[in-house]
Amino acid sequence: MPRGIYWDRRWGGAWYVFDKDPSGKSSRKNVATAKALLSELHAIAEKRRGVNSQSLAWLLDQFHHSHVFADLADSTQRKYDHLRFVCKELKTKAGPLGEIDAQKLRPHNMQAFVDRIAEEGHPTKANHVLRYLRRVFAWGVRRGHCAENPCKGVAQAKERKLRRVPSIELMERVIAHARVSGSLQAHTEGSCPPYLWVVAELAYLMRLRGIEVLDLSDASELREGVRIVRRKGSRGNITRWTPRLRSAWNAAVEYRRKAIPEAMPVPIDPARRYLFVAQDGQRLSKSGLDSAWQRFMLSLVKSEVLTTEQRFGLHALKHRGITDTEGTRAEKQEASGHKSAAMMDVYDHSVPVVNPASSD
């Protein structure tokens, strides 16, 4: 219940508040009937405190203070915090979008916002805003904060399909530089974290996402190979040992041994003994890995090891790994763990070699 609003069950029931006159004397004032919704009572309380509970900014804030938001992953929360700021400050003819009455927004308004952001050269940002607002309004409708979701039926912006998949030569050159830079003293010019080349090597050899590399632990090491538990609904599998894979794995274990302080307790459960740790010995975070990789890419561009156009993300190594996997397309799909054959159109960049129509 909102603070400062009270219930009187007499004479059919009523909700009331206490107001003070200039002399400080309190007097009762009815503000709603027994039929009032909880959301209406909250709106009354917010209005009395000078808060515009009809604005989009208010709705966004309520979502960010909800248990639904609290249950989201940390990375998702950070992304949504940024999108909340973007939505509040988005300029419209009527002023900042955050100050507009959320109940008055319609699909054509939302479509105009999406189109405008896309036309400014940010189609991906436009779609992130749309998906974020669609989720917030859906949450608000289910809890009585708004009557409808104005994002329903709004078309997404067309995003440019930009997939920077490195050539084998470029990938090998980058991993070699990461290996050399990782051997330099930490925090010196040209250095990078010593684990970076191993992460890249394992991501390529086992066709892994960055977060899946960080999920590897002592429990992943089996006699026949490395057991992989994939995310996003992909099927897990076991990647057989090769000399190259074993060498990279051993390098990761050796790095971990040096990074973890001797006084730090070692978990009994092998599934909690993660392969990659930060400088403090704690499990390496996805944000930490991403930041380290981006800094490394920028340093390579600065030192002219590669050009700006040749930069690529860690996820591109999964593309490269699937492309380089030998076998039929079905065998590549099994190795990658994808449940849908259509995903091979995204990840397999190999060009089939076929026979001509006639053997003459």
Express each pLDDT in 70-80 by its tens digit: 999 888 999 99
Task: Return the closest-CA partner of residue 293 out of 276, 315, 310, 271.
Answer: 315
Q: d(Cα 245, Cα 242) in Å, to the nearest integer?
A: 5
- Predicted confidence at residue 33, as pLDDT, reads 87
pLDDT at 39: 73
Per-residue pLDDT for 38 more than 70? yes
Complete edge-to-edge strand list for the sheet that includes strand 6-8: 6-8, 14-20, 26-33
The C-alpha atoms of residue 245 and residue 204 are separated, in whole angstroms, by: 10
Model confidence at 186: pLDDT above 80: yes
| Mean pLDDT computed over 89-114 | 90
Check whether 104 has a pLDDT greater than 80. yes
d(Cα 150, Cα 110) in Å, to the nearest integer? 7
- Position with higher pLDDT, 42 vs 181: 181
pLDDT: which is higher, 252 or 34: 252
CA angle 333/337/338 to nearest 5° reads: 65
Query: What phi-psi label fits residue 39: left (phi over 0), alpha (psi between -120 and 50 degrees) or beta?
Result: alpha
Q: Which one, of 138, 135, 88, 148, lies nearest residue 113 by Cα?
A: 88
pTM: 0.63
Specify the range with the lowest mean pLDDT, choosing from 159-173, 281-295, 312-326.
Answer: 159-173
Choice among 85-89, 137-141, 172-176, 244-248 with the minimum mean pLDDT: 85-89
Please choose, from the candidates 78, 55, 77, 52, the residue with its C-alpha nearest in 3D space to the C-alpha of residue 66.
Answer: 77
Please give, one letter per residue, the 3-state secondary structure of 39-68: HHHHHHHHHHCCCCCCEHHHHHHHHHCCHH
CA 189 – CA 181 distance, rounded (Å): 9
C-alpha 212/C-alpha 275 separation (Å) is 11
| Residue 134 pLDDT exceeds 90 | yes
In the chain, the N- to C-terminal Cα span, in Å, equals 85
Confidence of residue 161 (pLDDT cuts 50, 70, 90): low
* 186 residue type, one letter: A
Nearest to 33 by CA among 11, 49, 2: 11
Mean pLDDT, residues 260-276: 91
The predicted pLDDT at position 44 comes to 76
CA distance 176 to 201: 10
Cα distances (Å, whole numbers) of residue 246 to 127, 202, 240 = 42, 10, 10
Give the confidence band of 8 by pLDDT, cuts at 50, 70, 90.
confident
The 8-class DSSP code of residue 72 comes to: S
Evaluate the CA torsion angle 80, 82, 85, 87 in order and state its sign: negative
Report the range of poorest mean pLDDT among 101-110, 157-166, 235-244. Answer: 157-166
How far is the C-alpha of 351 from the C-alpha of 355, rounded, in Å?
13
